[in-house]
Structure 1
Amino acid sequence: MTRQWLRDLRMGASFAFTGRGGWARAVLTGVGVGLGVALLLLTTAIPNALDARHERSEARVDITYSPVVPPKSDRTLVVANVDTSYHDEDVRGRELEAEGARAPLPPGVDRFPAPGEMVVSPALKRLLESDEGALLRERLPDRITGTIGDEGLVGPAELAFYRDGQDLAEHIDTSYVTRIDHFGGERQPSEPWDPVLILLIVVLFAVLLTPVGVFIAAAVRFGGERRDRRLAALRLVGSDSRMTRRVAAGEALAGSALGLVFGAVFFLLGRELAGSLEAFGISVFPDYLNPSPALAALVALAVPLAAVLVTLLALRGVVIEPLGVVRTAKPARRRLWWRLLLPLAGLAALYPMMGQGRDNGDFNEYLVVGGVVLLLVGVTALLPWLVERFVARLGAGAVSWQLAVRRLQLSSGTAARTVNGIAVAVAGAIALQMLFTGVESDYTEPTSVDLTRAQMQVRLTSDVAVPSAAERFRRTEGVRNVAAYSEGGLGDRPQDPEHTTQVTVADCAALREVAVLPSCRDGDAFAVTGAEYDTETPLLAKPGRTLYLDPSYDTLAPGREVPWTLPKGLKQAESRTDMTGSERGGFLLTPGALPEGGARALTGQVYLAVDFSVPDAAEKVRNTAAAVDPLAYPMTWSAVDRTDRYDSIRTGLLVGAACVLALIGASLLVSQLEQLRERRKLLSALVAFGTRRRTLSLSVLWQTAIPIALGLVLAAAVGMTLGAVLLRLAATPVAVDWASVLTMTGTGAGVVLVVTLLSLPPLWRLMRPEGLRTE
């Protein structure tokens, strides 16, 4: 028995590569399966890639915001955060000042840069040396003396630099500047994940991987009609139905094995290519993408098993007899009832978690994955029935229309298989987009800043003259208005004060932006009243009392406090909402009221109204900030603030969707070429009898357009249903995001249109009478 089975499987495997067009058919199957396998291997490598990026990031941690700062020694290093951004890309920057011969070097750097030097990442070096990086070069004028090694970067496209710093110790504040004796921070326990965010991740993987399985299932059925004719011939020479199924299984195993080889090759090529690509700000080194051995083995076993199961299931609908295949006759009408069981089972799996939201524990991942997959796979079951019923009602028309309709009426299953993958992908994308849109408000908060008064803010260090810095910003192209303040703390004692409040120093015009002043001229001082949560100012606002600017609480900067005696002519001012959206309390001083030496106890904040219609206005502001103060920290305000984890998942969605779209396009093109190859003789015969090529081209377009249109309509219906169910799971009001539905549907149609246009040149080559030649 076992030997007979092995002989039958070997015979099927040999059929996969022999006969007329055998290798062409096998290669097309291998490419189709291989594309899916490559994406599955990429998915299994994602956990390792994320861990590798995290480990690289942890190994170079320097500013930990810890209040404990090690004492100065020959092993310590002062590090300043000088991050910036350029054209919406983050640039990681650090200034380094070694305090001894044994100070730690950052990962990927073999020596400290000297004054006027910097070490940059390869990507930043390419940018600075290009014309595109001219404005950034003004901001980073230091001479490049080396590049950061891979171990010091989280990705090959990361923009990063280290440069020399001077006199950084006096600016230590543990937030932007600190002292360290080693790189790398202790891994802190992370906060527990929100159940809705976990739901997003689970659904994301289910939605992105289901189309891959559908594509693989379709690819192993390439050449199905010729295979069935070969099996019919086997019946003619004496084989029984069981043997023919074993032969078919052997042929499927051979095709899937070739697909695994292609998939491994595609994955290795894609892994090397990944090192030169960046998607949505994410880049990875090739050695990050190492699939888990267990998951890779699971893919290697699951793909051949799925190929055999799909083949055997397909043969159940085809009665193979010695004199032919009953597929050549008009097929029996498909039944609907069992096709509805899949989506109904999916809804049943998701129903127990309805309304659970984030307050009732974690979602059952198995039920979520099972329910989502069943609903999406239901598209593949319903689409052939829908295509069959629709085309059965189509009638007369142009010759191209009649050719297309008749072909669809005879082989609606093949047409549906071609578009199953795109329909599943669109349905999943619509559902995901509805879920993301529905829960976005839970992870997005409006900021309090007033964007009508300012759009950028620049933090300056204490040794920068704020008035002169403000004048530099006023002369910067694109800046419409500048409000500059020197800010700090004020206490009743020089060290460990009992009562504290804030102090703000600016000219009268700027002070009127934060308070309602009775009158103002240089030399005036004001005590602010009416500020929310400010209970300390009334206790301290007593003329003649001595207060202290920048009182000390620890040993970070001892001796910097400056005494200030409240003047007898202290005026009252009423607080108003400032540009940051808060009510400023404490004391307001004009420059003439500031005591001698008080400026060094304050830090500068400059608020800028910027005309972003001016080209590169934000970059010019950042360049001015770097020229005014190397440690300046410019910020661009936004109207909303989103949770980092939500943003990360959304980025993962965009990257994954890009990969799946690429797979969709490539797989559809392979499928289209396979169908054209199967119909080569038919096309040649029609041309030989005088059918115009234009007519045949239009018929092929109709044969693609009709199933695609039906598939997209079904995908939209299933996607909106699944999206509504997922929103109910998240306890979020159900609302259809029609813009997303139209966008996803249009994207799917666009991919199909591009693939169809790419398949026209091979179609024209096949439409030749010489295609009837037979040796």
Structure 2
Amino acid sequence: MSTTRHAPHAAGTTPDPQRPAHRPHRGPAARLRDLAMGIRFAVSGGREGLTRNALTALGVGLGVGLLLIAASVPQMMDARDSRTAARTAVQPAFGKQLPVSATSLVTAPADTDYRTRTVGGEILRPDGADPALPPGLDRAPGAGEMYVSPALADLLASPEGRLLKERLHHRTVGLIGDAGLLDPGELRFYAGSSTLTTDTGGVRVDGYGTRGDADPMAPVLILVVVLACVVLLVPVTVFIATAVRFGGEQRDRRLAALRLVGADARTTRWIAAGEALFGAVLGLAVGAGVFAVVRRIAGSVRVWDLSAFPADVVPVPLLGALILLAVPVVSVVVTLLAMRAVTVEPLGVVRRSAPRRGRLWWRLLMLPAGLAVLLATGTVGDGSEVVEPWPVAAGTLLVLFSLTALLPWLVDAVVRRLGRGPVAWHLAVRRLQLGSASATRAVGGITVAVAGAIALQMVFAAVHDDFNRATGEDSERAQLTVSAEFPSGELAGEMIARFRATEGVRGVIGTVEAYVVSPEPVAEEDIRPTTLLTVGDCPTLRELARIRSCADGDTFVVHSARDEPPGDWIDRTARKGKQVNLNSDTPFDGSAPMLWTLPQRSPTVMARPDPVGEEHTGILATPGAVDVSALPGAWTTALVRIDESVPDAKEFVRNTAARIDAPVRVRTIHKIERDRQYESVRTGLLAAATATMGLIAASMAVAQIEQLRDRRRLLAVLVAFGTGRATLAWSVLLQTAVLVVLGTAMAVGAGVALGATMLRMIGKPVTHWGSYLPVAGMGAGLILVVTLLSLPVLVRLMRPGGLRTE
């Protein structure tokens, strides 16, 4: 019995015995019978067949499971958008307020951060007995009460949530239903209040459920998403195609027996396709099981801070049907194509011929063809209105699939020229020289994944600065900013004092601010001169202006350092020795003015940007000059500098803010602000890449075990003849090393070419040529790690039991 590749016939030689001169017509019915026979062989293949089918089903099932998850992503995104819209309050038109009614309520955001997590929150105060409620609540929480999400309830009940529990000190009266949450792991609460009003930062609403138009995605991000989808899914299809070929060499030898009883070559191919079809159908069942398990645990597992409700994890019907139909078809087509390159002969007939090398021209054509399709798509810039995804996907597919076509040819070409060496090296090289197809298929998927990851990395590195804006904030001078509106300056000053007394706070740049106006009469059509009054102690004022000397009771007139020349608006209001009206509402509501005289000796100074990059122009005053308790409509800002050596110092500040009986916003100061769409795409890609890399590792492990099983008898024979186990282990590692070097070299070349082409499409230069090194190293390392983990299986297969055959 023998299985070899076709060798070309010399002129005048006898035709191949597999190709009889006359073959009776065989229609579709005969092919179906051949497929059915192959399925019967797969079912009744004994222990060996059972193991082979199990490995095929596992390999295909892992790929199918991930494809079904990918097909569920659009549904999950739509469900998430619907949940977001359903809990968004219907805001009144700009500048208008809704009247008080039985269904209205006053609401204010109460989002906070806890360590590395964001806790969403909202404060509610109903106006009537039947208020509109956000989804997930059965009633409005009363004052001192709150509804929390299940994940937040668990956190508050754990020791890890001790500091957060101090902040959310309301009594928990219920859990938010699934309809009011984006995912099961979301941290969210709704708290009741009896003091929240529209004057203290609240907004009156009378309903929930609005769907505004989403911001259009930048063309560059669309290009990145298309590239990422292809890069993440192509390795999956490669692994599925590889899995249906598991046990191919043993199966080819078994089919030789069918030739002995008169089956022609075409019949054996279709029988082989039937065996592969059975394994693929089992793989669909395994994949459905994998998907069901993942769907069940989707709510309890968070990947890059993302999770989903099981009910939302549903494949798009068209995509799901396509997967269920495509996998069996691919298994049959791949097997038929693979069998065309194999000669299955009757028992005892051996052809001593060298394996035929595949044609090179079409393999070389795929890569430049794919790059040409991408270049023909044109330049994609911020001004582009439409990005055509299909040409981009088609070009990327051609580039990546060219690797699966070129890698076997390259391996054959290189190993034929490798010289002799130690026994382990000799065994590794001879194994590849005699047949590298199965080993090459095993690393083909990771080669494609590495090439795509390199291209993605190059694109992300090039567009990084476009979606990351320098805020102008100085996180060295302060780390947190706290802002709040208070009806009086007295409460504002009290807030600053509380933060200065908070544990872990090294300093506070605390200001109480209010608008002041000129009391002089103005024409009806003119705008009354207005400027900003900022009150703070001397250390605070030095952070806001370039002041040489300061004492309590001093005042300053501040001009902007950015204005050339300074405008006269400030000077028309802040006139030295003249009165200023501290009640800016007087011109609008006729309330009594609060006159205060700006001292004549007030020096004029230049503003200095505060830690968040803002200038405080107008009038600076110390508490001894202006009584903040007398300021109506004041607001306060506290820029907090914390002691990084104190654990959870930021949490202490946030807890202090939560104890203030008014809406207070706490924000972390960042030097760099990342675009939300970019961050969303990046997070989604990281989650998808994590799942894909997990599949790659698992599939490679299955493929490696299948290869070792296929060589079990040979390994046992070598050990029986005295070959050392360590030598055989080293031969496996060296064989893998050869494939790693060749596969990584190809992946780097194709990935850099694809990445450079993508950058040309978006008009960006290649600035990070070395960005591919970590990705390439990770891919090579993954292959080596999987090989090392398979060594225990190798040792077990070397036992004398491997000499047994059925």
* Residue in structure 2 matching 1:483, options 509, 531, 534: 509
Distance 1:747 1:7 in 2: 47
User: What are the equivalent positions in structure 2 for 1:212-361 lying under 5 Å apart?
Assistant: 212-323=236-347, 330-361=354-385
Distance 1:772 1:701 in 2: 23
1:74 maps to what in 2? 102
Q: How far 1:124 moved relative to its partner?
A: 1.1
1:469 maps to what in 2? 495
Do residues 537 (structure 1) and 563 (structure 2) align? no
With 314-323 and 494-503 compared, the bigger mean Cα shift is at 494-503
Distance 1:22 1:727 in 2: 49
* Per-residue Cα deviation, 1:447-486 (whole angstroms, up to 9, x for no partner): 1112332221111331563444334333434332211001
Distance 1:566 1:530 in 2: 22
Q: How far 1:228 moved relative to its partner?
A: 1.6
Do residues 761 (structure 1) and 792 (structure 2) align? yes
Q: CA RMSD in A?
A: 2.6
Distance 1:80 1:772 in 2: 76
2:545 maps to what in 1? 515
Distance 1:485 1:147 in 2: 39
Q: Is the 8 Å Cα contact of residues 502 and 586 (structure 1) preserved in structure 2?
A: yes
Q: How far 1:326 moved relative to its partner?
A: 7.9
1:697 maps to what in 2? 729
Q: How far 1:196 moved relative to its partner?
A: 1.1
Q: How far 1:335 moved relative to its partner?
A: 4.1
Report SS of the residue matched to 1:115.
coil
1:84 maps to what in 2? 112
User: What are the equivalent positions in structure 2 for 1:161-176 lying under 5 Å apart?
Assistant: 161-173=189-201
Q: How far 1:153 moved relative to its partner?
A: 0.5
* Matched letter for residue 316 of structure 2: S
Report SS of the residue matched to 1:145.
strand
% identical equivalent positions: 48
* Per-residue Cα deviation, 1:320-362 (whole angstroms, up to 9, x for no partner): 3334798986423344332111111101111223544333443
Distance 1:283 1:737 in 2: 35
1:35 maps to what in 2? 62
* Matched letter for residue 503 of structure 1: L
* Matched letter for residue 7 of structure 1: R
* Per-residue Cα deviation, 1:54-106 (whole angstroms, up to 9, x for no partner): 11111111374853331222221111211111122110011221221101222
Larger Rg: 2
Q: Is the 8 Å Cα contact of residues 9 and 250 (structure 1) preserved in structure 2?
A: yes
With 650-659 and 505-514 compared, the bigger mean Cα shift is at 505-514
* Residue in structure 1 matching 2:418, options 386, 394, 397: 394
Report SS of the residue matched to 1:198.
helix
* Matched letter for residue 537 of structure 1: I
Distance 2:351 2:475 in 1: 68
Q: Is the 8 Å Cα contact of residues 499 and 536 (structure 1) preserved in structure 2?
A: yes
With 483-492 and 560-569 compared, the bigger mean Cα shift is at 560-569
Do residues 726 (structure 1) and 758 (structure 2) align? yes
Q: Is the 8 Å Cα contact of residues 56 and 244 (structure 2) preserved in structure 1?
A: yes
**How many residue pairs end up in the alignment?**
767
1:547 maps to what in 2? 581
Do residues 618 (structure 1) and 618 (structure 2) align? no
Report SS of the residue matched to 1:396.
coil
User: Taking structure 2 as the reference length, what is the TM-score of the superposition?
Assistant: 0.90
Q: How far 1:524 moved relative to its partner?
A: 3.5
Q: Is the 8 Å Cα contact of residues 491 and 551 (structure 1) preserved in structure 2?
A: no
Report SS of the residue matched to 2:208.
coil
1:437 maps to what in 2? 461
User: What are the equivalent positions in structure 2 for 1:554-569 lying under 5 Å apart?
Assistant: 563-569=594-600
* Residue in structure 1 matching 2:221, options 177, 190, 197: 197
Q: How far 1:387 moved relative to its partner?
A: 1.8
Do residues 713 (structure 1) and 745 (structure 2) align? yes
Q: How far 1:684 moved relative to its partner?
A: 1.8
Distance 1:154 1:530 in 2: 45
Distance 1:296 1:289 in 2: 12
Instruction: Go from structure 1 to structure 2 and tell me whether the alpha carbon gap of 1:717 and 1:552 turns closer, same or farther (over 3 Å shift).
Output: farther
1:181 maps to what in 2? 206
Q: How far 1:139 moved relative to its partner?
A: 1.6
1:683 maps to what in 2? 715
Distance 2:517 2:82 in 1: 43
User: What are the equivalent positions in structure 2 for 1:374-389 lying under 5 Å apart?
Assistant: 374-389=398-413
* Residue in structure 1 matching 2:37, options 1, 6, 11: 11
Report SS of the residue matched to 1:512.
helix
Instruction: Go from structure 1 to structure 2 and tell me whether the alpha carbon gap of 1:167 and 1:578 turns closer, same or farther (over 3 Å shift).
Output: same
Q: Is the 8 Å Cα contact of residues 439 and 707 (structure 2) preserved in structure 1?
A: no
Q: Is the 8 Å Cα contact of residues 493 and 628 (structure 2) preserved in structure 1?
A: no
Q: Is the 8 Å Cα contact of residues 680 and 766 (structure 1) preserved in structure 2?
A: yes
Distance 2:645 2:792 in 1: 45
Report SS of the residue matched to 2:594.
strand
Q: Is the 8 Å Cα contact of residues 319 and 326 (structure 1) preserved in structure 2?
A: no
2:430 maps to what in 1? 406
2:18 maps to what in 1? none
Q: Is the 8 Å Cα contact of residues 355 and 729 (structure 1) preserved in structure 2?
A: yes
* Per-residue Cα deviation, 1:675-696 (whole angstroms, up to 9, x for no partner): 1221221222222223332222
1:53 maps to what in 2? 80
With 634-643 and 619-628 compared, the bigger mean Cα shift is at 619-628
User: What are the equivalent positions in structure 2 for 1:661-676 lying under 5 Å apart?
Assistant: 661-676=693-708
Distance 1:226 1:694 in 2: 26
What 5-or-longer segments of structure 2 have no aligned partner? 1-26
Q: How far 1:732 moved relative to its partner?
A: 0.5
Q: How far 1:625 moved relative to its partner?
A: 2.3
Q: How far 1:561 moved relative to its partner?
A: 8.6
Q: How far 1:248 moved relative to its partner?
A: 2.5
Instruction: Go from structure 1 to structure 2 and tell me whether the alpha carbon gap of 1:699 and 1:328 turns closer, same or farther (over 3 Å shift).
Output: farther
* Per-residue Cα deviation, 1:21-43 (whole angstroms, up to 9, x for no partner): 11211121111111111111111
* Residue in structure 2 matching 1:371, options 387, 395, 400: 395
Q: Is the 8 Å Cα contact of residues 518 and 573 (structure 1) preserved in structure 2?
A: no
2:6 maps to what in 1? none
Report SS of the residue matched to 2:124.
strand
* Matched letter for residue 209 of structure 2: G
Report SS of the residue matched to 1:539.
helix
* Per-residue Cα deviation, 1:595-639 (whole angstroms, up to 9, x for no partner): 675344111101122233432222222222223456221111111
Instruction: Go from structure 1 to structure 2 and tell me whether the alpha carbon gap of 1:51 and 1:324 turns closer, same or farther (over 3 Å shift).
Output: farther
Distance 1:561 1:635 in 2: 36
Instruction: Go from structure 1 to structure 2 and tell me whether the alpha carbon gap of 1:356 and 1:119 turns closer, same or farther (over 3 Å shift).
Output: closer
Distance 2:779 2:140 in 1: 52
With 426-435 and 615-624 compared, the bigger mean Cα shift is at 615-624
Q: Is the 8 Å Cα contact of residues 574 and 580 (structure 2) preserved in structure 1?
A: no
Q: Is the 8 Å Cα contact of residues 318 and 325 (structure 1) preserved in structure 2?
A: no
1:22 maps to what in 2? 49
Q: Is the 8 Å Cα contact of residues 82 and 630 (structure 1) preserved in structure 2?
A: no
* Per-residue Cα deviation, 1:523-548 (whole angstroms, up to 9, x for no partner): 33333224546552122223444435
* Per-residue Cα deviation, 1:229-284 (whole angstroms, up to 9, x for no partner): 23332222212222222222322322222211111111111111211111222111
Do residues 417 (structure 1) and 444 (structure 2) align? no
* Per-residue Cα deviation, 1:542-598 (whole angstroms, up to 9, x for no partner): 3444435453899xxx79996333435362432323222233222222223336753
With 72-81 and 150-159 compared, the bigger mean Cα shift is at 72-81
